[in-house]
Chain A
């Protein structure tokens, strides 16, 4: 059972426009959320994160929004650039006896010049 879902496997956006990547989760025990970017044959790179006690975090062109009641978060990239083309993973941390991060299936973003 997938606890972190990214229902759009792919997304195409024109350069300069906004990219919105969505993520839904099912477990109320998640206390921290992260977005990672991954190029083929490379490890993921951390982008931005948000604590469950916040509803927005911004870092340059990247903003993450968290709606706890809807168990939904989104990553906004403005303006989108061709170099942003990659797979984006939403991840959630669950505090158990150790911290466990669960990744979503990823969304492949293509930014068209």
Chain B
């Protein structure tokens, strides 16, 4: 059974700093990994999708990496801004053909102005 862990559960950093969010998963047989952001009381917004054959994806100030062999992914946020404050979730799609997405519990990020 796939398990996804995100540590820490909460993180506060001053505005302008670069930061890294971590995601680990137990079963390396994945189809893809997706990072989402969720604002309070809202739905999830897809940030980046990394297919299992890829090592990283970039979108603006965001860069996500994937290391399947070690069961880890990181989300790097450059030059953080107060608007980046949100909960960030990673999700792993396992068992291609019987697709099942497993979510972590998220990291609540606060950017201090």
The reply to whether chain A is a binding partner of chain B is no
